[in-house]
Chain A
Amino acid sequence: MDIKPSDSAILTKSLTKKVKTSEGDLQILNPIDMNIKYGESVAIVGASGSGKSTLLGLLAGLDDASEGEIYLDGQPLHNMNEEQRAQLRGGRVGFIFQTFMLVQSLTALENIMLPAQLAGLSNAAEQAKSLLEKVGLAHRANHYPNQLSGGEQQRVAIARAFISKPKILFADEPTGNLDAKNSINIESLLFELNKKFGATLLLVTHDTDLAEKCDRQLHMHAGSFVETVIPLTNSKHDEEVVHDV
């Protein structure tokens, strides 16, 4: 049955990514069809180089697809230019990155305010302070990122992700740069806030524990989704079944 884009938080049809190399085109993503419903939390799991981050970049409209269609919150990303995609992200999409990606010249509070300000929201400061309290960093509001620990930086990043009350949240290895204790704290914070804000969560991770906390897990290998769980060592002998999700 044909799925309506407006019914899905994220919908792709034959999404493909190729890059040009000196030896010709290299296909990084094989045609992918996927459908993620509103409110769902989905983990994309796979080894390094399997294409997870490439897929994330395409789904978030950070990169151009080579072929296929992508609908984000019902909007056809594949027909939009970079400027339109940025506008779409503003207010509807939140991001959390492995390397935190905070603006070093802005304080914790200012970093959290940034998406709201770019989206033209009027009460950015109040919302940012409230979120900062929620992530337990009210006392660090005026600290710059380099004055915060890794765990604290990621909390700021989580608070920033939720300030514009996003419908969809993309997280790229959110615990990848943290120690075990901090990872657990960040995981609980992420899921707690996601539940509270009711956002669709698409998470890319190596961490199977984290992936298991999601409603669904999608395993990637060599640019395609596979049914079998592929060990992260990327063994050539693993049996794999490529399928649509």
Chain B
Amino acid sequence: MTSNQQSSSHQSSYHHKNAWFSIAWRLFCHESKRGELTIILLAISLSVASVLALSLFSERLQYALTEKAANYFTADRMLWSANPAPTQWLEKAKQSELTMATQLRSNSMLFAGDAMSLVFVRAIDENFPLKGTIRIAPQPFAEGADTDLTPAQGEIWLESRIFQLLNVQLGSMVELGDIKLKVTQVLAQLPDQGFSLGNSSPHVVINITDIKAAGLIGQHSNAWFSYSFVGSDEAIIQYEDWLLPQLDNEVHGWDTAEDAKDFWLSRTIRKAGQYFLLSSLLAIILASISIAVAAQRYCQRHYDPVAIMKTLGGSNSQIRKIFLLQIGFISIAGIIIGTSIGYVFQYGISTLIANQLNIELSGWYWRPFIIAIFTGCCCAFLFSVYPLMKLFSVPPLRVLRRDIDAKPLKFTFNLLASGIAIFLLMWAYSNDLKISAILFASGVILVLVLLAITLVFITLGRRYAQAEFSPGLAGAWNLAWARIQRRAMGNSIQLISFSLTIMLLLIVIVLRNDMLEQWRSQLPEGTPNYFLANITKQELPELQRHLATFDVFPKEYYPVIRSRLTAINDETIDTTIDKVKKKNEKEEKEIKIEDKGKAKEESTDKEREGFGREVNLTWRDTLPFKNEIVEGTWWEKDVPNSVSVEEKVAGELNIIIGDKITFNIGSQIVTASVTNLRSVNWQTMQPNFYFILNPDAVTDISPTYITAFNLAKDQKSELNKMLKPFPTLSLFDVDYRIQQVKDVIKQVSAAVEFILILILCAGSLVLIAQVQASIEERQQELAILRTLGAKGKLIQQSVVLEFVIVGIISGIIAAFANEIALYMLQTNIFEMEYSFHFEFWLLAPLVGASVVGCLGALTCWRLLRINTLKLIREVM
């Protein structure tokens, strides 16, 4: 071959390559003005946007929560030790490039002249806190502000109530152990200052270098050292792996920031995350249905061009490239639009949440982008593969015989391709093979059941729907039913598609309503934001009168007493715990995570030391607010010693009704029979208890009281005055945290609204695609009917009625399927109470009839506007 020939051959091959690209591009440009590609584009954009926005949002939020937890925790990891940690451990931390802060915690007496108070001393170094911030206030009980300062040597920072207790001011000198310290700041909040009734002593902060001089460490000291660490994930894990085997459980403890996650926030976000996951899956499924329907129509319209191209010498491979490339163009455009919308949305919401949580959003998350792009490609190609395969099989002979269609392919192939696509998407998105398989199998069963119901509806409808209307309407009615009946299988598929769409929309709307309602009721207006503890029996009446003068009326005062749970059925409790621990190690771990939230209302001691140590007890005649008996009965008056146990603790300790539990209360031993097990709503922001006794069981015990109340923001400045007459009371301010939860719920709710809009758009797309798909067939019928002289009104009425009938049936089926799906979802996944949604049985057929009817009317209106000759020409 000469070089000229080679060049010519190369050029030809180049042009050959270019040819299909340019044909594909030109077809795409022209087709993009038509309906189907727009629907495919919008469907891909919607699915990509929803997947990206919600995955990225969830992932960033998860990061934000962990980060926030680390802020409350002040570090990534913390080592607890009864003694100073060995030097080589700390050296190793330095070598591992970890930043470290050292702290000592101890109870001690603080003196100011003759006044004294038991305080909880936090001796910190200049690195504390490694994460989060200390808040200080200009004066006692004033609003706190973040500070980077730490107490200098010789200084002490006091919590507001100590100013009252010791009657000191800023600048006063106080005595701690063997040294005198100058009061330089009002401590408003330490980042890791938990709410613990077990340790309600007010906090003071000093410099760690003063600790030795003060004599707080020594042989009989109750001090605990804590060493907190931050660093890269890799360095932290490496250090953890090195250190953990060396720890002695008797004297050391090791905590992670993950353990400090906020209970309410985590729960809210977890539930929202489940909703996002479900909604995105539904958005993907709806988008996929629209793509499948639109692609089917798009391909059908291209049977002629493919036949022409084949006749003119186009090879199968050229034709495949031309049409696959068009799907490629549309996918790229859809993915770009979808990722842009998704990114912008999640950026907005994440930034708002980051501002609320006061954290930095950093890092780049590839997984959501990869999943979103994968979703876009999957939706575009796998759902159009069947129509495309049919398109490619169109024989060239169609140019001479228009009645020749594409070669019939096995419909099972279509089902298989679509099934695999949906399953792959579910799996990729949920990252859980089992859940995906269950959901997928349920979906398949649902579709089969719907198919059967639909066919029954259509058959019965035609048989019994003999209309007694005016002659004109009766004609339209019969024509409509005849059309539905004639295409029973096609209509069944259309009906299922409508039903599924309406059902999915209903599910998303109901879940959204229920979830938002649950969030709202979780922290309603007036939720207690302050807790008062250490109220003595003598102070109680005076305190009630005094608070009333500030318009503060706490709901209830709970008697509280510290006790030891010493035995169950005369078996010492330690043995029981060990046994249970070994048996149910995994289960107990899960319970402990829950307990983190309860720690705010109950003692944190339990988590670390088990029930063998102290536990808070209360007693009362009535079941507390938002507690429910799950087993046994609540006691009547004058019963023998009885105890009510929280159900999860009962499970953990293997306690059943009738068991005898022994408490050591001070020097008194109280044994009570378990008469009931309770479920507790820990989100009420009211004091809650694991164990409640009947009042007769504790006659000679003098408790302290605890209460919770709500204080409006503008009343905060009165706290000082409010508590001044009661200097020994302990006040816990949870307002800041409640506000944060409320703010986050607000932002997450915005995300929920966003996904709802996406789902509604995806649902509308399916309906439009379905109606569009049947246009051509309707066009033919209309052309024939109009040529035969049928009046426009009759045609219009029959088409609208057809769609209205289809809409009503779809609505009824959707309401039925919705009820079943909601029952499964609410009880099994969302941990919500199921309720029957009567309103949707009425609403769904109405919405179905009106929306589907309107779409039908619009289609019909467009077709009726075309003059008969043009209509016939278009059909021919």
Contacts and interface: CB of A to CB of B under 8 A. Distances in A.
Interface of A: 53, 56-57, 60, 62-63, 82-83, 86-91, 93, 95, 97, 99, 101-106, 110, 114-115, 117-122, 124, 144, 160, 164, 172
A121 B26 contact: no
A122 B15 contact: yes
20 contacts: A53-B401, A57-B400, A57-B401, A62-B399, A62-B400, A86-B310, A86-B315, A86-B396, A89-B311, A90-B314, A95-B312, A104-B304, A106-B26, A110-B26, A114-B23, A117-B23, A118-B23, A144-B30, A164-B313, A172-B400
A90 B304 CA distance: 18
Given A86-B311, A101-B304, 12 more contacts: A53-B401, A57-B401, A62-B311, A62-B400, A63-B395, A90-B315, A95-B311, A103-B304, A104-B305, A105-B30, A118-B309, A120-B12
A56 B19 contact: no
B312 A105 contact: no
Contacts of B11: 122
Taking each of A63, A97, A117, which has the highest tally of chain B beta carbons within 10 Å of its own beta carbon?
Answer: A117
Nearest to A163: B312
B22 A95 contact: no
A101 B308 contact: yes
B486 interface: no
Q: Which 10 A-B pairs have the closest CB atoms?
A: A90-B313, A120-B16, A117-B19, A105-B30, A115-B312, A118-B314, A62-B397, A62-B396, A103-B305, A89-B313
A106 B322 CA distance: 13
Interface residues of B, number: 32
A120 B15 contact: yes
A62 B313 CA distance: 10
Contact of B313 (A91, A99, A101, A102): A91
Contacts of A56: 400
A102 B304 CA distance: 9
A107 B775 CA distance: 25
A83 B316 contact: yes
A90 B12 contact: no
Given A103-B305, A106-B30, A122-B15, A114 B312 contact: yes
A90 B397 contact: no
A151 B396 CA distance: 24
A86 B314 CA distance: 6
Contacts of B513: none
A65 to B, nearest CB: 12
A122 B13 CA distance: 10
Contacts of B27: 103, 105-106
B539 interface: no
A90 B31 contact: no
Contacts of B31: 105
B704 interface: no
Interface string B316-353: 10100000000000000000000000000000000000
Interface string B385-413: 00000000001110111100000000000
Nearest to B8: A122
A160 B308 CA distance: 12
Nearest to B307: A101
Given A53-B400, A97-B400, A105-B27, A90 B15 contact: no
B313 A87 contact: yes
Interface string B15-49: 11001001100110011000000000000000000
Contact of A103 (B15, B308, B396): B308
Given A53-B400, A89-B311, A95-B399, A121 B318 contact: no
Contacts of A160: 312
A115 B313 contact: yes
A192 B31 CA distance: 36
A172 B313 CA distance: 17
A117 B22 contact: yes
B748 to A, nearest CB: 46
A209 B45 CA distance: 58
Taking each of A83, A91, A114, which has the highest tally of chain B beta carbons within 10 Å of its own beta carbon?
Answer: A114
A119 to B, nearest CB: 6
A142 to B, nearest CB: 12
Contacts of B318: 118
A97 B399 contact: yes
Interface string B361-400: 0000000000000000000000000000000000111011
B12 A122 contact: yes
B397 A57 contact: yes
Nearest to A115: B312
A8 to B, nearest CB: 21
A118 B395 contact: no
A178 B19 CA distance: 32
A17 B315 CA distance: 25
Contacts of A103: 27, 304-305, 308-309
A24 B402 CA distance: 24
Taking each of A86, A91, A121, which has the highest tally of chain B beta carbons within 10 Å of its own beta carbon?
Answer: A86
Nearest to B399: A101
Nearest to A120: B16
B311 A119 contact: no
Contacts of A172: 400
A121 to B, nearest CB: 7
Taking each of B19, B23, B395, B400, which has the highest tally of chain A beta carbons within 10 Å of its own beta carbon?
Answer: B400
B16 to A, nearest CB: 4
A118 B22 CA distance: 11
Contacts of B316: 82-83, 86
Given A106-B27, A114-B23, A62 B16 contact: no
A83 B400 contact: no
A120 B399 contact: no
Taking each of A95, A105, A121, A172, which has the highest tally of chain B beta carbons within 10 Å of its own beta carbon?
Answer: A105
A118 B12 CA distance: 11
A132 to B, nearest CB: 16
B290 to A, nearest CB: 22
A118 B313 contact: yes
Nearest to A92: B313
A157 to B, nearest CB: 10
A63 B397 contact: yes
Taking each of B31, B311, B314, B318, which has the highest tally of chain A beta carbons within 10 Å of its own beta carbon?
Answer: B311
Contacts of B400: 53, 56-57, 62, 97, 172
Nearest to B313: A90
